[in-house]
Amino acid sequence: MAVELDCDSLWYGADVVTMRDGRYSLIEDGAIAVKNGAIVWVGRRQDAAGARAARRIDFGGGIVTPGLIDCHTHLVFGGDRSEEFEQRLNGLSYAQIAAQGGGILSTVRATRAASAGELAESARRRIVRLLAEGVTTLEIKSGYGLDEQSELRMLQVIRALAEQLPVEIHATCLAAHAVPPEYRDDPDGWIEVICRRLLPRIKAGGLADSVDAFCEHLAFSADQVGRVFACARQHGLPVRLHAAQLSFSDGCRLAARFRALSADHLEYASEDDVRELAAQGTVAVLLPGAFYLLRETQRPPIDAFRRHGVPMALASDANPGTSPALSLRLMLNMGCTLFGMTPEEALAGVTLHAARALGLAQTHGSLEPGKVANFVHWPLSRPAGLAYWLGGQLPCQVVYHGEMRQDPLFGAGEGAG
């Protein structure tokens, strides 16, 4: 049925993969109408024949998907941990490396020593590689400062990057990432600093959109994280949680109790944990990059998530120690091959469900009227091709807020920064 349209631009000539309700919901030979940076209509090209559009753009084949969303990253950091990669291959565990001063605390030392400019420049080199693969929204955590000023500096850098680059950036305070060396014998003291001093300053300065924590035997207990989350709630900040990555714990139930936007990792989530997450609408964010690099064997309970209707997101977990991953598209393949997700589930995991994990599902993650006009044209015949191809950069055209984006690729620095 022909529609009356008055728009700034009409994009057509490709099959539109809307991802409405987390399904392909494919419209063959579709069209997308955009006005003031938002989608105002999606449908068949033939139904838009009479549209009044200032610009018409013909993709000439292929598919269009929502802009990709990387909902869990640690892209701002100093230093390099390739030595630990070798150590793990020579038999040391993640916990053993951490116990001898490596792991997160190694990056903390390097991050504290770096200037804001150095942190921003190295992060920028990493970010632009994600942008080149169709990412239009991403999340970046603090958590490598682990003192008041360094955490604030990281969050200020994240906010500055959002102003400089054509990507929407969700900032997360992860001050409860590891026990700082200064508080090795007094982790509760650091929790007090987070609650009494850091979170109030972050809220006052508008430096974070959410609060995260690492609930694990080598990080913080459920009781300690609960105090951080209660404080975050008092300041009106939603919470997310690193949970059940290395062992069974109370993390998932804690995430459910505080109605966390997401619980992330979840290799050791139990059936009861999954029920709790489902009851509260918490998204399961799966991170196959860390699973792969750490050579884990305990897979997240995918079938249980399906049974109980828990939305599954996928993310790069880009970080210097356990997931030096700069390809979200590779995570689609890993989600399928390592975790047993379907290509449709994987694509939903970096679009609609990733948006849910950031509290953005009303405005992002699918191609529907009223949502931000972020979408990507791919030279593929089927959406499963995004998860199918290994390695290499698939050429793509990115539309960001209704305009064709020129990705700011520059420099020859190493991807790891």
Question: pLDDT tens, 336-371?
Answer: 999 999 999 999 999 999 999 999 999 999 999 999
pLDDT of residue 409: 56
The residue with greater pLDDT, 146 or 98, is: 146
Instruction: Look up the pTM and report it.
Output: 0.95
Provide φ and ψ at 80, rounded to 5°: -155, 140
Tallying the residues shown for the chain, one arrives at: 417
> In angstroms, what is the C-alpha Rg of the chain?
21
Q: Which domains does the chain have, with CATH numbers?
A: 5-67+366-405 (2.30.40.10), 68-358 (3.20.20.140)
pLDDT tens for each residue of 314-334: 999 999 999 999 999 999 999
How do strand 6-17 and strand 26-35 relate by DSSP bridges? antiparallel
Q: Find where tokens 């090795």 sit.
A: 184
Top pLDDT among 328 and 248 is at 328
- Does 3 have pLDDT greater than 80? yes
Average pLDDT value over all residues in the chain? 94
- Any residues with CB less than 8 A from the CB of 280 and at least 6 apart, and which? 255, 256, 257, 259, 260
Q: What is the 3-state composition of the chain as percent helix, strand, coil, each rounded to the nearest 5?
A: 35, 20, 40
**Which residues lie across from 397 on neighbouring strands?**
377
What's residue 408's pLDDT? Answer: 57
Question: What does the H/E/C string look like for 55-80?
Answer: EEEECCCCEEEECEEECCCCCCCCCC
Residue 335 has pLDDT above 50, yes or no: yes
How is the beta sheet containing 262-265 ordered, strand by strand?
A: 68-70, 135-141, 168-176, 210-215, 240-243, 262-265, 283-286, 312-314
Q: Which segments are annotated as binding site for 4-imidazolone-5-propanoate?
A: 81, 144, 177, 245, 322
pLDDT for residue 416: 34
Name the binding residues for Fe(3+). Answer: 72, 74, 242, 317
* Percentage of residues in the chain having pLDDT higher than 90: 86
Question: Identity (one letter) of the amino acid at 173?
Answer: C
Mean pLDDT confidence for 101-107: 86
CB contact burial 53-78 (16+ within 10 A = b; e otherwise): beeebebeebbbbbbbbbbbbbbbbb
CB atoms within 10 A of CB 231: 21
What are 242's strand-pairing partners?
Answer: 214, 264
Annotated binding site: 72, 74, 81, 144, 177, 242, 245, 317, 319, 321-322
Binding residues for Zn(2+): 72, 74, 242, 317
289 close to 316: Cβ distance less than 8 angstroms: yes
pLDDT tens sequence across 288-306: 999 999 899 999 999 999 9
- In contact, 285 and 269? CB cutoff 8 Å: no
* Residue 113 pLDDT exceeds 90: yes
The annotated binding site for N-formimidoyl-L-glutamate is made up of 144, 319, 321
Phi (first) and psi of residue 213, to 5 degrees: -155, 160
